[in-house]
Amino acid sequence: QVQLVESGGGLVQAGGSLRLSCAASGRTFSRYVMGWFRQAPGKEREFVASISWNGGSTVYANSVKGRFTISRDNAKNTVYLQMNNLKPEDTAVYYCAADFSPGGPGHSVRGNYDYWGQGTQVTVSS
């Protein structure tokens, strides 16, 4: 069982930056592939980024590639999403997710993620 708590969301102007954090409970954090997803009003939840257990494998949605960076600190049971050059279309609720996959690579398959956080709102004004 893993509990995930996101933080770091807020209101920012276009071109600005935010860093989201996701703190995980449990002692086996390093066995989980971690991912970030987002959901805008009236839209499906979509993949943003994912990272393997040791950070050696990362995957990004095309829409955020080059602007967002996912990282993790297994000693702190935390995964991060650094978001730079934010755009109004990045406005959404951002969710952290965990997939129990020891040694597995990062991936975008939403159905494979077992645990989800409650989400944090990111609003980008134009």
Q: pLDDT tens, 47-60?
A: 999 999 989 999 99
Residue 36 has pLDDT above 90, yes or no: yes
Q: What is the mean pLDDT of residues 70-88?
A: 97
Query: Which of 55, 35, 31, 51 minimizes the C-alpha distance to 110?
Result: 35
- Longest Cα–Cα distance of the chain, Å, equals 42
Residue 37 has pLDDT above 90, yes or no: yes
Its sign, for the CA torsion 73, 100, 95, 69, is positive
Predicted pLDDT of residue 58: 96
Average pLDDT, the chain: 95
Distances in Å between the Cα of 121 and the Cα atoms of 26, 55, 112 are 25, 25, 23
Predicted pLDDT of residue 28: 87
The pLDDT tens digits for 4-21 are 999 999 999 999 999 999
Predicted pLDDT of residue 75: 93
Predicted pLDDT of residue 17: 98
Alpha carbon 21 to its chain's center: 8
Strand duo 10-13 + 120-125: pairing? parallel
Residue 1 has pLDDT above 90, yes or no: no
Predicted pLDDT of residue 68: 98
* Percentage of the residues of the chain whose pLDDT score is greater than 70: 100
Question: Do 117 and 22 contact (CB within 8 A), yes or no?
Answer: yes
